[in-house]
Amino acid sequence: MNARSTALNILCQQEESGHPLDMLMEKQIRKENPADIRDTNLTMALVYGVLRQRRYLDDVIASFAKHPLRKMKTRTLQALRIGVYQLLCMERIPASAAINETVQALKKAKQPKWLINFINGVLRNVARKPEQLLKAKKGLPPAVRESHPDWLYERWGRRYGNKTALEICRTNNSLPVLTLRLNRKKISPDDYLERLAGAGIQAKQSDIIAEALHLVGYRGAIPALPGYNRGFFHVQDEAAQLIASLFQPFKPGGRYLDSCAGLGGKTIQLAELLPKESTLTAVEPNKTRLRHLQENLTRMNFAADVSIFQGSIESFQQKRGGLFTHILVDAPCSGLGVIRRHPDIRWNRRSEDLFSFQKKQLALLQTAVAMLAPGGILVYATCSMEPEENDEVIRHFLKNQPEMSVERPAIPPGANGFLDEQNFLRTLPAPFHDGFFAAKLRKA
């Protein structure tokens, strides 16, 4: 396996198809089936690194290539990005290896000799001026320097101020800390911290959530962590772990519905917290996500506690029906709060997309509220910070549903600073969590 070649294929597929990066990555790496985990790690580092620094890389390439970037073929531009990223952002890779291996990836793809010579020449010219280029980077406009679209940087600047907008961009370009959610039914935080220390893995307990552990600097495989196959934990962002707590206090005999289960992070958490004589149903239309959901529930030993429905929430309502005391609408959204984990999002979104998501989110809420029992709780959540998907959705929804009202949630004391004057939960991207929004709504 040539890590550069694999990275090149993934980046080309992502740009041409617009499909989610994690799915493309998983499929391509499985196809290549690398014998050495180091090849997989390098592939991932190149793909994620190029996407995080793409705009800055393009600025550098444009200053060295006579051919306009907009006229370059996808594979040509992606190869240049991979090469320049190694030269300017990966100190451990010698310039000679960065250039030669990138050229070999092009040869493997059977690119014409003149094109290979062109890319080789550009990369060699960049390699001669790394210090000057990095020094000049400081003088670039913030959105270029931090590799974000202008519309996004300007939007955050208007709402939060330029200083905070810059901090968000820099956080988005950093490597995310791996955060685990411990299964209290299997192991305590103290016991698991001791196991990690015994395995030489550095970790710290969250200041907000007792069951959340941050594995600072860990770059190994998730299944290699102690207790993975025994269901000691699942991977979940710190802010995402707060969402299920909005259902507190949990009462026996409730009927819980996770209407957009996805991979099952919040489903697993709800299953763990499920009171006696209560039921939990998870709805997921996507076959791939559904498969992962089932695998995760089985590994965590919660498969028997969750009823799964494959299909949309609309089809679930028609075929299953019934009323639920608690409904989670973890709505599909722009994902602009989790760019650090999904760097392709910043290049795939446009401002007008927010209104398209808003329509879908309102439709989901309308379907969900029809299945909510009187006195029931509906929690609405997104991994977005944008008002169109959050405040405005709730405002439109409440206008058409006078029987619904916002209620102040009982969340862990350390997270009370995330509640605003409207009783909405909000987080911005930070070292230990992503950008989320959630609202607790009660039906009269």
Compute φ and ψ for 425, nearest 5 degrees: -90, 125
Catalytically annotated residue among 12, 89, 260, 383: 383
Lookup result for tokens 């309102």: 362
How many residues can be counted in the chain?
Answer: 444
Least Cα distance to 253 among 327, 182, 324 occurs for: 324
State how far the Cα of 364 lies from the Cα of 245, in Å rounded to an integer.
Answer: 21
Residue type, 169: C
Is the CB of residue 180 less than 8 Å from the CB of residue 212? yes
Helix/strand/coil (H/E/C) assignment for every residue in 202-240 = CCEECCCCCCEEEECCCCCCHHHCCCCCCCCEEECCCCH
Least Cα distance to 243 among 372, 429, 426 occurs for: 426
Instruction: Give 302's DSSP letter.
Output: -
State how far the Cα of 199 lies from the Cα of 193, in Å rounded to an integer.
Answer: 10
Is the CB of residue 380 less than 8 Å from the CB of residue 365? yes
Antiparallel, parallel or unpaired: β 255-258 and 279-284: parallel
- CA distance to 87, 269, 300, per residue, from 309 (Å): 49, 18, 19
Least Cα distance to 441 among 400, 385, 386, 412 occurs for: 400
To the query of whether residue 383 is one of the catalytic residues in this protein, the response is yes
CB-based contacts of 57: which residues, under 8 Å, 6+ apart?
50, 80, 81, 84, 85, 88, 147
Query: Hey, which residues are catalytic here?
Result: 383
